[in-house]
Amino acid sequence: MSTALVFVETLDGKIADITYELLDLARRVIGDGGTVTALAVMPAGLTSELGAADRVLWADNPDNRYLPESLGKTLAQAVDQVSPDLVLVGNTAVGMDVATYAASRAGCSTIASVQKVEPAGQGWQVESVILGGKMVATAEVTELTILQVLAGAGDAERGHVQGNPTVETITAAEAAATVYEGLAMPDSTDVDITKQDILVSIGRGIGDKDNIEVVEELAEALGAVVSASRPVIDAGWLPKSRQVGKSGKKVKPKVYLALGISGAPEHLEGMRDADCIIAVNTDPKAPIFDVAHYGIVEDILELVPALTEKVKGA
Ligand SMILES: Cc1cc2nc3c(=O)[nH]c(=O)nc-3n(C[C@H](O)[C@H](O)[C@H](O)COP(=O)(O)OP(=O)(O)OC[C@H]3O[C@@H](n4cnc5c(N)ncnc54)[C@H](O)[C@@H]3O)c2cc1C
């Protein structure tokens, strides 16, 4: 009989959807006879949301402090306590912090960007995406390995079950070297990119901050808003509130125009549900074309001004 250990991720006192996906995945992979244990460092009163687990190891976190050092150590302690066959953590900004910390403490491996897990022989067959989504690697895992699972591998609705799992109170490990200073949320006075019908989204392919102006003209002609991939935000060319993706916002516009965006898994996570995706990229092998409904292999700096003229003339 197998045991799965699922790390419960929270943000600002709420359980993140990725947790419910992991609970669904854990149950599917280990079967009804197995035990699913959830490790939750979170405020009191939320364990009934984890009804898809048989058991919850719970440590109180009344102030919602995010301390990856403490969480990583606590996960390593839980691995010792539970001796799981499978450990699932979200492939999120939080999960990546925690999984690597825990793996080093527990002396085991970790695999990032996991999109599929299935039982195989004495262990698991694990599929992960590598090289920014251009290739898929398959590994037979027979030793304890912490899997960082991408959103989409499980079904959050199926994994979000109200119930009364057995709750065992534990003490979270101390963070010796890190201090929590507070949660910084994106500026809420900017436009809300999650509410737009059309997004004109730019990536590193825009090349320079000065080139954003031509894209803004196109967006204005279309009645759209400009959003971006992370490198554009990290460069400080647009505010954080415009970032699409894993560590930005999840959007579902009617039209998503992806200009000079390669289509890394962390970006796709935020926009792949758009009704119509149109991608423009000079690289015909860019992974964005795998999710695009329409693709154009072209230099955006050539195409965008011409497109703006067409839209204005229509
Ligand atoms: C924990 C974590 C969280 C992350 N969160 C996010 C997130 O929320 N959102 C996000 O976007 N990324 C996120 N990332 C980063 C992600 O992995 C990628 O690095 C990022 O999405 C790449 O952005 P890009 O496509 O703009 O750049 P690149 O991957 O560099 O792609 C640029 C593309 O532009 C094309 N190009 C270049 N010049 C032109 C031109 N003139 N005309 C047309 N095409 C051109 C190139 O062919 C290339 O495909 C995260 C990463 C991690 C590890």
Structure confidence by residue, pLDDT tens digits, 262-304? 999 889 989 998 999 999 999 999 999 999 999 999 999 999 9
Given a cut of 90, whether residue 189 has pLDDT beyond it is no
Percent of the chain with pLDDT over 70: 99
Q: Which residue has the higher pLDDT, 76 or 190?
A: 76
User: Domains in the chain, please, with CATH?
Assistant: 3-169 (3.40.50.620), 193-313 (3.40.50.1220)
**What is residue 213's three-state secondary structure?**
helix
C-alpha 265 – ligand 1 centre gap (Å): 9
Atom of ligand 1 nearest to the CA of 132: 17
Task: Tell me the pLDDT tens digit for each residue of 77-103.
Answer: 999 999 999 999 999 989 999 999 999
Average model confidence (pLDDT) across the chain: 94
Atom of ligand 1 nearest to the CA of 300: 42
pLDDT at 74: 98
C-alpha 131 – ligand 1 centre gap (Å): 12
C-alpha 231 – ligand 1 centre gap (Å): 6
Rounded to the nearest 10 degrees, how much is the dihedral formed by the CA atoms of 234, 224, 292, 18? Answer: 60
pLDDT at 120: 93
The pLDDT confidence band at residue 246, using thresholds 50, 70 and 90, is confident
Structure tokens at 215: 């894209």
Given a cut of 90, whether residue 109 has pLDDT beyond it is yes
Which residues contact ligand 1 via a Cβ below 6 A?
Answer: 93, 96, 132, 203-205, 229-231, 243-248, 260-262, 264, 266-267, 270, 280-283, 286, 299-301
186/200 Cα distance (integer angstroms)? 20
Given a cut of 90, whether residue 254 has pLDDT beyond it is yes
The pLDDT confidence band at residue 184, using thresholds 50, 70 and 90, is confident
Atom of ligand 1 nearest to the CA of 91: 1
The pLDDT confidence band at residue 188, using thresholds 50, 70 and 90, is confident
81/37 Cα distance (integer angstroms)? 11
Helix or strand holding residue 106 (H, E): helix 93-106
φ/ψ (deg, to 5) at 232: -70, -40
Q: Whose CA is nearest to atom 14 of ligand 1?
A: 266
Pair 22, 148: CB distance under 8 Å: no
Atom of ligand 1 nearest to the CA of 248: 8
Given a cut of 90, whether residue 247 has pLDDT beyond it is no
114/274 Cα distance (integer angstroms)? 23
